[in-house]
Chain A
Amino acid sequence: AAMELQPSHGLANRVATLAAGYLCYRRGSPGRGLVLRSLRRARRQDIDDVGHKYYLELVLEDVLDKDSTVNCTAEVLYHLGSKNLAPDVQFTLEGELKNTDEADNVFYNRIRSLEKELVAENIPDSHGNVSPEMEPIRRLAWVASGYIIWQNSTENTKFHLAQIKRVKQVKRSDEYLEFDYMILLHEMVSQEIIPWQMTVLWHPQHGVQVTQDSRQPKHTSG
């Protein structure tokens, strides 16, 4: 039997944030960033010896076009006991997402035509600025961080990408683009800022992949 949760409830919102992160990872690209607009409904079911299952109705927003929203239903299962198993997430989108082939291709071609590998720091900067050339780099990080958030979430965590500290393009001989990111994740419950390294692969026809990631140690004094 599923119990109704208040959409305003902290726990429901943590689950929704996780689902949105996973979804963004699966469907996002440099030309498309998806962000949680609102949680419409949430139900929870405790399954003996398995874990906690949540049924969500979400509204997602396209970061490139605030007026473009898409409804989504998601099921999230947090496994009992196991700290190392990522939650299972399944989702269904109502309707189609905007086609982003052109934006993706423009970015792809721009990076491929660079003479030197791209390197950048602090995106956004302290004042929240992101230069237009860095917007797709940021969206790519947002999408890739969805993977890390998914892999590391529990019912008691709520992660957001806080900032890209550093990004370095890695030269490749094939058609993929590869970037090595050092990002900062903000975990809302503990309020910790967690540095995380991730290697991200992307190609317009092949989606985003995080091929390697590792949590970094925090500095002690600052």
Chain B
Amino acid sequence: QVLRIKTRNEEEVKQLQLLESLEHLELDFWINPSAAALPVDVRVPAHNVQAVKAFLESQGIEYSILIEDLQAVLDKEKEDMDYSQQRDRSSSSFNYGTYHTLDDIYAELDHLASEYSSFVSKLQIGESYEKRPLYVLKFSTGGSHRPAIWLDAGIHSREWVTQASAIWIAKKIASDYGKDPSITSLLNQMDIFLLTVSNPDGYVFTHTTNRMWRKTRSKNAGSLCVGVDPNRNWDAGFGGPGASSNPCSDSYRGPSANSEVEVRSVVNFIKNHGNIKAFLTLHSYSQLLMYPYGYKCTQPADYAELNALGRAAASSIRSLYGTTFTVGSICTTIYQASGGSIDWSYDYGIKYSFAFELRDTGRYGFVLPASQIIPTAEETWLGLKKIMEHVRDNPY
């Protein structure tokens, strides 16, 4: 047991120091006796509890039980840790409930493509500035050139819960096909393309050097500052308000639209595919579900439908753990910001363009505890699914 002892005077403190010296009692003081005003916490082995209590009582020293059974507490903690390691672990040893390095995520992409090879394949759509491959998982049950849904994560590298959620979502889609009626019917009609790490250079940098890095890692001519904000670099109101022209800024738009290879690779893929019907992108944090526009504060033509669909998706998200997402256009919900990806995709003709800002609302922000990865992924998936079902049922 762990006891908390409240001494009232110097005499009592001396008594405790005497107790401390009796080695056969095997007492482990978590807070040592020093001054009368301070509590003393001591762990007492079970077989000595009676003796210690008897001593305290005989001296009239006040105590209370801080922890009734420490071993039980430790056993439970171990159980919890083992359980959370076992969760969602099927044949792979990839722990979805923790944050991973780029190499480990890339290894898991290969594993998924191999385990579900009949409908999951890995494509490379380009290379990052530092020559890292940009890998997309393609989910396709057949057909040729079916209408498709695009989903990306981690365009801003410090938003770690997005890459982590994306790989969980990849596993979810793969394992639910053939079991969940909705996903099965979706994949029987449409393809899904999932870019789990849109900005691999930035992601590696957040692991090796600066956890708060947001941008790409491209060199800027004439500046010591590195990197461009990849979500200010798209060809949508480029150069307008809400993006900086200063290379040292975290919202630097870059020298020109599509200057970043990470952005250009996605644009080229989407244009070459020609049949993408939804463009969904994951960010953190703030718990928002947004549709265009960011570069201007006027409503998109499809405002009514996008708003209603957004609300339905937010409702699905909330149904799981009560997490509330605010729905609205980028401009009204956060601020005017030019050069954003969903503005580009929408103006390009992809009607169902949404940007998610995942957990939380500021308490942990970018350093969201790993214990929240799976709940975040689970609830986000419900929102994405709601949107995907609507896209499936409303061909255009």
A and B, one complex?
A: yes
Chain A residues packing against B (C-beta within 8 Å): 6, 8-10, 17, 35-36, 38, 63, 106, 109-110, 112-113, 124-129, 156, 160-163, 184, 186, 188-193, 218-222
Q: 7 closest Cβ contacts across the A-B interface?
A: A128-B369, A160-B362, A191-B250, A193-B212, A222-B210, A128-B367, A220-B224
Q: Decide yes or no: A163 and B212 within 8 Å by CB, A8-B333, A38-B324 being known contacts.
A: yes
Chain A residues touching B, majority SS: loop
A10 to B337, CA, bound (A): 12
User: Which B residues lie at the A interface, using CB under 8 A?
Assistant: 31-32, 34-35, 37-39, 98-99, 160, 205-207, 209-214, 224-226, 229, 244, 248-251, 286, 324, 326-328, 332-335, 361-372
Q: Per a CB cutoff under 8 Å, which of B98, B99, B367 touches A162?
A: B367
Complex: A125 Cα to B214 Cα, angstroms: 17
A191 and B251 in contact (CB under 8 A), knowing A129-B369, A221-B226? Answer: yes
A109 with B38: CB separation less than 8 A: yes
What would 16 A/B residue contacts be, using CB atoms closer than 8 Å?
A8-B327, A35-B361, A35-B363, A36-B362, A106-B39, A109-B37, A124-B364, A124-B369, A126-B367, A128-B367, A160-B362, A161-B365, A162-B212, A162-B365, A163-B212, A218-B248
Q: Which residue of B lies closest to A105 (CB)?
A: B39
Known: A9-B333, A10-B332, A128-B364. 14 other contacts (CB 8 A): A6-B332, A113-B35, A124-B364, A124-B369, A126-B211, A126-B367, A156-B335, A162-B212, A186-B365, A190-B249, A191-B250, A220-B248, A221-B224, A222-B205
Bound form: Cα–Cα A189–B249 in Å:
12
Q: Tell me the bound Cα distance from A57 to B46 in angstroms.
A: 53
Which of A9, A124, A162, A192 makes the CB contact (< 8 A) with B250?
A192
Q: A36-B361, A109-B38, A184-B212 are in contact. Are A222 and B226 (CB under 8 A)?
A: yes
Q: How far is the CB of B251 from chain A (nearest CB, A)?
A: 5
Q: Which of A109, A127, A184 contacts B98 (CB 8 A)?
A: A127
Residues of chain A lying within 8 A (CB to CB) of residue B364: 124, 128
